[in-house]
Amino acid sequence: MTSPFEGFKQINQLVQKFIKMGWGSERVTQLGQATKQQYRDIEAYLDGKAVIDVPRKYSQTSIEQMCRELLDKAVKDGLVTVAEGVCSPLDMSNGDVIAVANKLNSYFMPVDDAKEVKDEDHTIDCDTDPYVPNRWSIEEHQKGGTFKFDPANVALHLDKGQKDGKMTEGHKLRKALAKQPVLNANVLDYLLANPHLISEEWKGKAVFFWGTIYRNRDGHLCVRYLFWRGDRWASDFYWLDIDWSGDDPAAVDAS
């Protein structure tokens, strides 16, 4: 039988997963208002007894046809004006569609984000006191001097207890990370202030900054992490009493 504490840990992990997925309060409310049949459908899916069949409007549609429909939508919304005597976007030939796409491509050239980051000076003072939430305190803050941020200088580290679908408790993970060059919360807050520096590969993960460990107002030890909310980067925290999975890497200095 699951103890009340274990049950609470599982609920907390589920809530944290929702947060990492970018689910807001409205989505959680919708889940709470689901019908019995909808819950049965979810159970059947989780048990491997059902599949989710999502209709895909464009599964059998060519790229050229998708472009025609997008252009037609732009005309109807008044974003584009069709010159007199020119055919409707839906009647354009494949050659005309490609010509329009090539024209647009000249206006929207890709940007080498990595080069931009390297050209900027993003030096972080890891010795200064970190941000402390209201009524919290610092349990441990590993100072790291000055750290020049570059995506190539940061690695996402998983302990062996987090790999192959396994999970490990926060206190055990803290000991396992003792010899790792973990980054502290100063780096986290710098990235929140400069979100364009954050790698797209971090989306879907909770990236922890174990160099700073807090004690919250209830006395629990906590570590803050960075995650994508669906519309922006944000931070939250885990208690060390709960378990860390393969989606919860530690940010470490790889320079």
Residue 198 near residue 151 (C-beta atoms within 8 A): no
Percent residues over pLDDT 70 in the chain: 64
What pLDDT, in 10s, does the model give residues 94-115?
666 666 665 555 444 454 554 5
Rounded to 10 degrees, the C-alpha dihedral 48/53/58/61 comes to 80
Residue 210 — very low, low, confident or very high, per pLDDT cuts 50/70/90?
very high
Q: Average pLDDT of 42-52?
A: 67
pLDDT at position 133: 87
- Specify the amino acid at residue 8: F
Angle CA 248–254–255, to nearest 5: 155
The stretch 233-254 carries a mean pLDDT of: 93
Residue 103 has a pLDDT of: 56
Residue 128: the pLDDT is 92
Q: Where are the domains of the chain?
A: 4-46, 63-105, 113-253
Q: What integer pLDDT is reported at residue 90 of this predicted model?
A: 76
Mean pLDDT value of segment 7-12:
58
For residues 194 and 51, which has the higher predicted lDDT (pLDDT)? Answer: 194
More confident residue, 83 or 125: 125
CA dist 20 and 24 (Å) reads 10
Mean pLDDT of the region 76-94: 70
Residue 54, pLDDT > 50, answer: no
Summarize the confidence of residues 156-181 as an average pLDDT: 95
Mean pLDDT computed over every residue of the chain: 78
pLDDT tens for each residue of 71-81: 777 777 776 66
Out of 17-21, 118-122, 243-247, which region has the weakest mean confidence (pLDDT)? 17-21
* Residue 247, pLDDT score: 93
Least confident of 23-32, 85-94, 149-158: 23-32
User: Per-residue confidence at 50, pLDDT binned at 50, 70, 90?
Assistant: low
The whole-number pLDDT of residue 35 equals 75
Distance CA 239, CA 225 (A): 11
Output the pLDDT for position 181: 96
State the SS3 of the chain.
Answer: CCCHHHHHHHHHHHHHHHHHCCCCHHHHHHHHCCCHHHHHHHHHHHCCCCCCCCCCCCCCCCHHHHHHHHHHHHHHCCCCCCCCCCCCHHHCCHHHHHHHHHHHHCCCCCCCHHHHHHHCCCEEECCCCCCCCCCCEEEEECCCCEEECCHHHEEEECCHHHCCCCCEEHHHHHHHCCCCCECCHHHHHHHHHCHHHCCHHHCCCCEECCCEEEECCCCCEEEEEEEECCCCEEEEEEECCCEECCCCCEEEECC
